[in-house]
A and B are shown apart, each in its own frame.
Chain A
Amino acid sequence: MSASTSVRGISPPHPEEEEAIAAEAAAIARSLRDRPGAVTAVLETVQQRWHHLPVAAMRAVARELGIPLSRVYGVATFYAAFSLSPRGRHMVQVCLGTACYVRGGTKLAEALEEHLRTPMGQPSADFCFHLEGVRCLGCCSLAPVVRVDGRTFGRVRPQDIPRLLASVLARTGSLQGGDGT
């Protein structure tokens, strides 16, 4: 599966693959170029497609929007939502906002690091999960909060984590394969 190779990012993408990425990214940029402040929206879409911003895609976006690559890079590195390195397939976000912090969010973060065997901000070894600390998901009343693939869980205790992650995997099918689509 070619797409999944690039997502994993274990080796740099093949030249043909790079071309394919560039072509698709250019098409995304074309479709959104008329929007005010298009760069951010384009990069968001690119990121949704590949789970990170491949260099080939950023080059194509700069070319297509007629702006220097440095500006694209500037935006890509400024905002937390963008990642230049490949991310794991399932986003696991642990809220580290004040309310979650006061109610034990750090213990939750530690438990997740231990369970996924991966430090904060990194994909797990098999690229199945991506662990990330975020600043406030706005569910402070139900602190501490964890969001997995956009689904938010409130009042999470460290011991709930294995069950919670298992339920996500059960919903999406299996541990391995199929992504980038």
Chain B
Amino acid sequence: MTAIPTSDRPFSPLLRALREEGLARLAPKVPRVSLGMASCGLAAGARETWDALRAALAGRDTVACLVPTGCLGWCQKEPLVEVRLPGSPALVFGRVTAEAADQVAAWLAGGELPRAHLLGQYPAADRSDGQTQPTTPDPRFPAGEIPLIWDLPFYRGQLRWVTRNCGFVNPADLAEYVARGGYLALEKALARGPEWVVEQVTRAGLRGRGGAGFPTGAKWQAARRAPGEQKYVIANADEGDPGAYMDRGLLEGDPFSVIEGMTIGALAVGHCHEGFVYVRAEYPLAVERLETAIAEARKAGLLGENVLGSGFAFEVHVVRGAGAFVCGEETALLASIEGRPGEPRPRPPFPSEKGLWGRPTVINNVETWANVPLILMSGAQLYASVGSEGSKGTKVFSLVGDVSNTGLVEVPMGATLRHMVEVNGGGLSRGTRIKAVQTGGPSGGFLPASLLDLPVDYESLTGAGTIMGSGGLVVMGERTCMVDVARYFLSFTRAESCGKCVPCREGTHRMLQILERICAGGGRPDDVGLLEEWAWAVKDGSLCGLGQTAPNPVLSLLRYFGDELEQHVRDRFCPAGVCRELFRFGIVPETCTGCGACLRACPRGAIGGEPRQPHIIDQARCTLCGVCRDACPFEAIVVEPRSPADEGVNRNE
């Protein structure tokens, strides 16, 4: 775990004062209890934890600062609570439900440490900006071995640069952000000028984190050179890829870094005094946190007429999307901000020449903007020293699906999928065998388990037939049917196609029809060839990125999971046990112990048998819901091909 050098001190009196204030809040004289309250934390029950913590601390007359933060990344363990005793390293507790919150409060009041919830500790100097030396430890600090948080498998090999503040600072507190080195980069940028900024970003090798990987420096340079008296910067926070949520994580956990990045970008582009953050409708909390942060920055003079007293004027507005996946495409996004249906248009002209209201506009993803302060703060050279040949810096991935540890994982570019899935992710959460990892959302593709050693960067993923996308990694175990998932993605792209161009509108519809037919057991011998033909037609003929990438799930299905597709078409069999017309459940008598778990779980009473005797499934009653398979502790329930006798059964379920 390499920390980001923040040895520089701010120059301006304003930032110096904010920094002092922030340091005092990050390491107060009383315990600091912070709770991850991003959307994920709240979904795991953080609101109840908050209420319980407050009541329990008050009830015991314990003096402590209770602070809401964003997400520390390890969502599987949420609600996450961090307790920092004065002069001691911070401790992290996981799965702190309301009940556990009471135990934490009891410990602070002198009781016993809730060891079952303790995950680990931060290194003494880390995360406090090197300010607090380990002084006299607090007597409440537990004796004995406590693992360092960065040594836990979930964090091993991670390099938390962009997410350095997430889960640590209060996202509404500007002073805490400044105490962590915030706005040092803007100060530098103002002192050294736009040319220097563009050069640094270029030399750092930063590429667009939205997925296409376009060099950011080149984009900025183009907008800088474009003629125009009014230019714009936009943060694309229309994170539409299902399965990816790093933008939400950043906006809810560290909104100031995005605002600072945009301010620096506006300065670099020149003639730019307005910026927009386009946030999708499904992220209300991100909008709220962002608006708070903008108001705070404006109040302090870090946005507005006279940024940091430099005479440079810059404002940021938040625009909420209204639920359209295609608006993540930059030209569609522009149309949407202008108040039109979000339909893309051909490029060129690129937005850097003709963007919002026809003026030069730089559109970057949220994560890209959040990288900018980091680059200026640490120096382009250090930044570029991390990563692979063509992809520099780190990338935040959202590791989700059939994996034990779900969460946001930030690793150097070029880390392997295997490391993320097996070490950070801790392997599979159900089933035993990894079948595929899906990257890049509906525009991406599936990678089979045999490619897990692939280093993850823009080039190698493209080479393997998928894309980086915004960084979603959905792990799929053997109980996932790849044909069904491809069908799922096609139903998504068909519904989200804006309908402007024919190949995308009609092609996604056709491919979906074929896949639906196959999944329903009506596959025809020429379907596989037909699918491939359609896929290339849509890929080659579509207007925008949505259409051009919509066939990717189909193409990677054909490339890596052709056998499974063949089984569906030719043998009318779904080996994963998902497509209900194409399998049945059976019980292996030799493996079944007659424990009765499946019998009790079955909602239809379709399983019979005596205790300690092998059970039997009544196929006529079985609806193939799979509850029994989930309930069986011995893997005795297996997927079998249908026999002719099953025909006509379950058809209408």
Chain A interface residues (CB < 8 Å from chain B)? 36-41, 43-44, 71, 74-75, 78-82, 96-103, 107, 134-143, 145, 150-155
Residues of B within 8 A of A41 (CB): 320
| Bound-complex Cα distance A152 to B282 (A) | 11
Is the CB–CB distance between A97 and B281 below 8 Å? no
Point out the residue from B76, B338, B474 that lies within 8 Å of A98, measured CB to CB. Answer: B474
Point out the residue from A78, A97, A99 that lies within 8 Å of B498, measured CB to CB. Answer: A78
Is the CB–CB distance between A37 and B42 below 8 Å? no
Which residue of the partner chain A has the closest CB to B401? A102
Residues of A within 8 A of B402 (CB): 102-103
Residues of B within 8 A of A154 (CB): 40, 43-44
Known contacts A81-B322, A98-B472, A135-B325; A37 and B625 CB within 8 A of each other: no
- Which segment of B199-207, B236-244, B386-394 sits at the interface? B236-244
- Which segment of B55-63, B120-128, B339-347, B634-642 sits at the interface? B339-347
Is the CB–CB distance between B43 and A99 below 8 Å? no
Known contacts A98-B242, A136-B242; A142 and B43 CB within 8 A of each other: yes
Which residue of the partner chain A has the closest CB to B429? A103
Is the CB–CB distance between B75 and A142 below 8 Å? yes
Does B587 belong to the interface (CB within 8 Å)? Answer: no
What size tier do the contact residues of chain B reach? 35 or more
| Bound-complex Cα distance A82 to B428 (A) | 39
Known contacts A102-B476, A107-B625; A139 and B39 CB within 8 A of each other: yes
Does B323 belong to the interface (CB within 8 Å)? Answer: yes
Does B336 belong to the interface (CB within 8 Å)? Answer: yes
A-B contact pairs, 30 of them (CB 8 A): A36-B317, A36-B339, A37-B336, A39-B340, A40-B320, A75-B339, A75-B341, A80-B322, A80-B323, A82-B322, A96-B242, A98-B242, A98-B243, A98-B438, A98-B472, A99-B474, A102-B485, A135-B242, A136-B282, A137-B39, A140-B242, A140-B244, A141-B76, A141-B406, A141-B408, A142-B78, A143-B401, A153-B43, A154-B40, A154-B43
Does B6 belong to the interface (CB within 8 Å)? Answer: no
| Bound-complex Cα distance A64 to B243 (A) | 40
From residue B345, how far is it (CB to closest CB) to chain A in Å? Answer: 15
Known contacts A135-B325, A142-B40, A142-B78; A81 and B245 CB within 8 A of each other: no
Does B558 belong to the interface (CB within 8 Å)? Answer: no
Instruction: Count chain B CB atoms within 10 A of each CB in A41, A80, A140 and give the residue with the most.
Output: A140
Is the CB–CB distance between B339 and A39 below 8 Å? yes
Does B369 belong to the interface (CB within 8 Å)? Answer: no
From residue B642, how far is it (CB to closest CB) to chain A in Å? Answer: 21
Known contacts A37-B338, A98-B472, A140-B245; A145 and B322 CB within 8 A of each other: no
Is the CB–CB distance between A36 and B337 below 8 Å? yes
Does B70 belong to the interface (CB within 8 Å)? Answer: no
Is the CB–CB distance between B324 and A80 below 8 Å? yes
Point out the residue from A71, A82, A141 that lies within 8 Å of B75, measured CB to CB. Answer: A141
Is the CB–CB distance between B39 and A140 below 8 Å? no
Known contacts A74-B341, A75-B339, A154-B43; A134 and B282 CB within 8 A of each other: yes
Is the CB–CB distance between A138 and B239 below 8 Å? yes
Is the CB–CB distance between A44 and B322 below 8 Å? yes
Residues of B within 8 A of A142 (CB): 40, 43-44, 75, 78, 406
Residues of B within 8 A of A136 (CB): 240-245, 282
Does B132 belong to the interface (CB within 8 Å)? Answer: no
| Bound-complex Cα distance A79 to B238 (A) | 13
Residues of A within 8 A of B498 (CB): 78
Which residue of the partner chain A has the closest CB to B489? A98
Point out the residue from B245, B338, B341, B625 that lies within 8 Å of A36, measured CB to CB. Answer: B338
Residues of B within 8 A of A43 (CB): 322
Which residue of the partner chain B has the closest CB to A151? B42
Which residue of the partner chain B has the closest CB to A140? B400
Known contacts A138-B39, A150-B284; A40 and B401 CB within 8 A of each other: no
| Bound-complex Cα distance A141 to B245 (A) | 9
| Bound-complex Cα distance A96 to B242 (A) | 8
Known contacts A75-B340, A141-B398, A141-B400; A155 and B44 CB within 8 A of each other: yes
Residues of A within 8 A of B341 (CB): 74-75, 78-79
Main secondary structure of the interface of A (DSSP, over half): mixed
Which residue of the partner chain B has the closest CB to A145? B43
From residue A171, how far is it (CB to closest CB) to chain B in Å? Answer: 12
The number of A-B residue pairs with CB atoms under 8 Å apart is: 148
From residue B265, how far is it (CB to closest CB) to chain A in Å? Answer: 19
Does B492 belong to the interface (CB within 8 Å)? Answer: yes
Residues of A within 8 A of B474 (CB): 98-99, 102, 140
Residues of A within 8 A of B282 (CB): 134-138
From residue A144, how far is it (CB to closest CB) to chain B in Å? Answer: 11
Which residue of the partner chain A has the closest CB to B319? A37
Does B560 belong to the interface (CB within 8 Å)? Answer: no
Is the CB–CB distance between B441 and A98 below 8 Å? yes
Residues of B within 8 A of A44 (CB): 320, 322
| Bound-complex Cα distance A96 to B489 (A) | 11
Is the CB–CB distance between B40 and A37 below 8 Å? no
| Bound-complex Cα distance A101 to B240 (A) | 15
Residues of A within 8 A of B400 (CB): 98-99, 102, 140-141, 143
Q: Which 6 pairs from chain A and chain B are nearest by CB? A: A97-B242, A37-B339, A141-B75, A80-B323, A79-B322, A154-B43
From residue B237, how far is it (CB to closest CB) to chain A in Å? Answer: 11
| Bound-complex Cα distance A145 to B75 (A) | 13
Point out the residue from B323, B337, B343 that lies within 8 Å of A37, measured CB to CB. Answer: B337
Does B480 belong to the interface (CB within 8 Å)? Answer: yes
Which residue of the partner chain B has the closest CB to A72? B339
State which residues 424-441 of B face A: CB under 8 Å: 438, 441
| Bound-complex Cα distance A154 to B336 (A) | 31
From residue A159, how far is it (CB to closest CB) to chain B in Å? Answer: 10
State which residues 380-434 of B face A: CB under 8 Å: 398-402, 406-408
From residue A50, how far is it (CB to closest CB) to chain B in Å? Answer: 16
From residue A89, how far is it (CB to closest CB) to chain B in Å? Answer: 18
| Bound-complex Cα distance A136 to B474 (A) | 13
Point out the residue from A40, A71, A81, A98 that lies within 8 Å of B488, measured CB to CB. Answer: A98
Does B50 belong to the interface (CB within 8 Å)? Answer: no
Is the CB–CB distance between B324 and A78 below 8 Å? yes
| Bound-complex Cα distance A41 to B406 (A) | 35
Does B283 belong to the interface (CB within 8 Å)? Answer: yes
User: CB-CB contacts of B262-306 with A at 8 A, as 1s and 0s?
Assistant: 000000000000000000011110000000000000000000000
Does B248 belong to the interface (CB within 8 Å)? Answer: yes
| Bound-complex Cα distance A78 to B325 (A) | 11
From residue B126, how far is it (CB to closest CB) to chain A in Å? Answer: 24
From residue B273, how far is it (CB to closest CB) to chain A in Å? Answer: 14
Residues of A within 8 A of B406 (CB): 99, 140-143
Which residue of the partner chain B has the closest CB to A96? B242
From residue B351, how far is it (CB to closest CB) to chain A in Å? Answer: 16
Which residue of the partner chain A has the closest CB to B283? A138
| Bound-complex Cα distance A143 to B343 (A) | 31
Is the CB–CB distance between A99 and B44 below 8 Å? no
| Bound-complex Cα distance A142 to B44 (A) | 7
Residues of B within 8 A of A79 (CB): 321-324, 341-342
Is the CB–CB distance between B401 and A98 below 8 Å? yes
Residues of B within 8 A of A141 (CB): 40, 75-76, 78, 245, 398-400, 406-408
Residues of A within 8 A of B239 (CB): 138
Is the CB–CB distance between A135 and B324 below 8 Å? no
State which residues 1-45 of B face A: CB under 8 Å: 39-40, 42-44
State which residues 457-496 of B face A: CB under 8 Å: 472, 474, 476, 480, 485, 488-489, 492, 496
Which residue of the partner chain A has the closest CB to B578? A106
Residues of B within 8 A of A135 (CB): 240, 242, 282, 325, 492, 496
